A and B are shown apart, each in its own frame.
Chain A
């Protein structure tokens, strides 16, 4: 054991304390940095030097403190929970937003909604029935009818517009996913080389962790940590990032709502172009909103809404026309039905093409044939259609088109309510997972202050040891042999 080894021991203490202070400084400096994970200096006590020879026995103290590295106090278990819950929350929040928007575009209940306009339309027929053969109520009725047709077309258009903007959003999300994947791959490379050279890659790992969370909340991707410090990110079992290589995804498929049935919007890998399946996250939520309608009415909410608008327009036009055809106008041959249509529409896109055929009184067949020109029997029957009291040829009441609209609104309302509740739940779960993660990873200033004190004291102590050794050596070197002088 060397005379000077005590100095060395004290020196190792000084170095460790100073490094510890630097780490505390880094923690405090990043107390509010998003995604920063607190760090701790990890040390261990150095064991005494091995025995020099057989006679060199005796007890020896350790050789001071050794530095292990700088530990990153994260928890991969909590990180995983955050990623899973974020994926679920992302999925349902996109769906809830889409349905909420759809619901807003209905303007129900209220006096701007379709049901209010329908009531005006039926009321218009009743007024015409009261004053059949007069221009004023006919003009009013035509105004209400045109407004109704416009409102149906506007409602339909707002659904298709929402679909298009949702598709743009999905394209944006996929671009974000691709760029995050590329960055993760780059960080993987950097982390691997830093770790291989024995350095500390904690800050790089923080960045990568934030990126993988983004990827997971976008796509529900799973992350697997590898021994060399890199992570593999996979979507639906296929690797998105593997080591320092990343693949990219692409959105293909119809760019209009109408085309989605034949050519669904979907994801494909760029190279080679194979289909990709995304099970969770915002992208999956967006794709599920864009899905085509199906026979059971459980398809994409926007496509289903478009189908409902078309069905409503068709039902309205068909039922009104069926009754209107039995009526006679003031100029049609007496005694026989004029056979005129009130609404015209193209069956392939009923909501958009719905239009009113008559331009003035002469085209409206309000009278029962053979009952006089000022009869309003057919107009009354049409008004009764609104109340669900009109009878068909067999004397059975015809269901009012109002009921079809009310069904649609209720369906959207129930769907929206369900999605909103799910989104709320998923967001609560995600928040609590994030809180658990943050509880472990975030910097506590009180704790850092205590560490600061401890390290300051350790530094002072090590310095004092060094002074003591110095004084001991001083005694040995300068004062030896001066006894009694």
Chain B
């Protein structure tokens, strides 16, 4: 059917076209202003779901990053304490070897060694109670404040089998503490390194040859080194996790940008095009709507 065209329908058509152009322009301006491809879920339901998933992943990776930082702090502290303890133990071993030379040492000299050993024992106890952010790094999850109690019991306060873990990925955790019981000798006094040192000092004073104690010291130092090696391995693991997280965070950011962000150049081009369209629509409308037959009749 051929439609009749009247001033009224022309006017309405012009108005509708202008309105549509304006609408497009406003939409593009909004997009150019926010540079977001998805401002409402209905713009792209699949994209919105993906965007929520990626945002969650980004948040999770940030959280794992914080966990890794915290874990690194723990392991640094543990490693420092273990290095210091190893040094102290070496010194103790040297003094014990020195003290074992029965013939050449006077009682006064032995007393001096015994005193030094007792000093080193206190130092070692201090190292055993090293803390990080208020948490004793050798005490596991215990809240006792110190990992090893004072003389003469030297009781280990940690709960057996309970380790401090930090989550570095959705599927894995890393142990960030060291077992004080393993490092400084098993629980409840007798087997601990502190009791051993005190025994050596006592032997020196009592005139007993301390040479026999060297083997015990070596056992303790062996245990210490073994724990140190384990901590080193964990430190390496957490370092690798840090790198992996950094890489993943970059990947996720790229994914997020691909889903959510608009190409600035494209948007500005579209906006300019729409502006031109709108202006020409205005110009055309102004020309078309003006004349009627009345302009040409006397």
Q: How far is the CB of B282 from chain A (nearest CB, A)?
A: 21
Residues of B within 8 A of A212 (CB): none
Q: How far is the CB of B123 from chain A (nearest CB, A)?
A: 26
**Which residues of A (324-383) have their CB < 8 Å from a CB of B?**
330, 367-368, 370-377, 380, 383
Known: A130-B67, A443-B7. A103 touches B162 (CB 8 A): no
**Which residues of B (1-34) have their CB < 8 Å from a CB of A?**
1, 3-9, 12-13, 16
Residues of A within 8 A of B6 (CB): 438-439, 442-445, 447
Known: A372-B158, A389-B171, A449-B294. A435 touches B12 (CB 8 A): yes
State whether the Cβ of B206 lies closer than 8 Å to any Cβ in chain A. Answer: no
- Of the stretches A46-54, A249-257, A412-420, the one at the interface is A412-420
Known: A420-B42, A436-B3. A119 touches B55 (CB 8 A): yes
The answer to whether B45 touches A413, judged by C-beta atoms less than 8 angstroms apart, is yes
A146, B201: Cα distance in complex, Å: 59
State whether the Cβ of B142 lies closer than 8 Å to any Cβ in chain A. Answer: yes
Contact flags A374-410 to B (C-beta < 8 A → 1, else 0): 1111001001101101000000000000100010011
Known: A126-B167, A402-B56, A439-B9. A409 touches B141 (CB 8 A): no
Q: How far is the CB of B167 from chain A (nearest CB, A)?
A: 6
Residues of B within 8 A of A417 (CB): 42, 45
State whether the Cβ of B170 lies closer than 8 Å to any Cβ in chain A. Answer: yes
| Total of A-B residue pairs, C-beta within 8 Å | 167
Residues of B within 8 A of A123 (CB): 59, 62-63
State whether the Cβ of B263 lies closer than 8 Å to any Cβ in chain A. Answer: no
The answer to whether B5 touches A109, judged by C-beta atoms less than 8 angstroms apart, is no
Residues of A within 8 A of B96 (CB): none
A120, B49: Cα distance in complex, Å: 18
The answer to whether A410 touches B60, judged by C-beta atoms less than 8 angstroms apart, is no
State whether the Cβ of A67 lies closer than 8 Å to any Cβ in chain B. Answer: no
Q: How far is the CB of B259 from chain A (nearest CB, A)?
A: 9
The answer to whether A383 touches B7, judged by C-beta atoms less than 8 angstroms apart, is no
State whether the Cβ of A108 lies closer than 8 Å to any Cβ in chain B. Answer: yes
The answer to whether B162 touches A372, judged by C-beta atoms less than 8 angstroms apart, is yes
Known: A130-B66, A130-B166. A413 touches B142 (CB 8 A): no
State whether the Cβ of B143 lies closer than 8 Å to any Cβ in chain A. Answer: yes
Residues of A within 8 A of B7 (CB): 31, 442-446
**Which residues of B (152-172) have their CB < 8 Å from a CB of A?**
158-159, 161-162, 164-167, 170-171
A371, B294: Cα distance in complex, Å: 97
Residue of A nearest to B5 (CB): A439
The answer to whether B293 touches A443, judged by C-beta atoms less than 8 angstroms apart, is no
Known: A374-B142, A445-B7, A449-B294. A127 touches B56 (CB 8 A): no
Known: A130-B166, A445-B7. A410 touches B41 (CB 8 A): yes
Partner of B67, one of A126, A368, A445: A126
**Which residues of B (26-71) have their CB < 8 Å from a CB of A?**
38, 40-42, 45-46, 48-49, 51-53, 55-56, 59-60, 62-63, 66-67, 70
Residues of A within 8 A of B42 (CB): 100, 103, 413-414, 416-417, 420
State whether the Cβ of B269 lies closer than 8 Å to any Cβ in chain A. Answer: no
State whether the Cβ of B297 lies closer than 8 Å to any Cβ in chain A. Answer: yes
Extra pairs beyond A387-B60, A438-B9 (6, CB < 8 Å):
A372-B141, A372-B162, A373-B141, A380-B165, A386-B56, A420-B42
A-to-B contact residues, CB < 8 Å? 31-32, 100, 103-104, 106, 108-109, 113, 115-116, 118-120, 122-123, 126-127, 129-134, 330, 367-368, 370-377, 380, 383-384, 386-387, 389, 402, 406, 409-410, 412-414, 416-417, 420, 431, 435-436, 438-440, 442-447, 449-450, 453
Shortest 6 CB-CB contacts between residues of A and residues of B? A372-B141, A413-B41, A442-B8, A444-B6, A371-B162, A373-B143
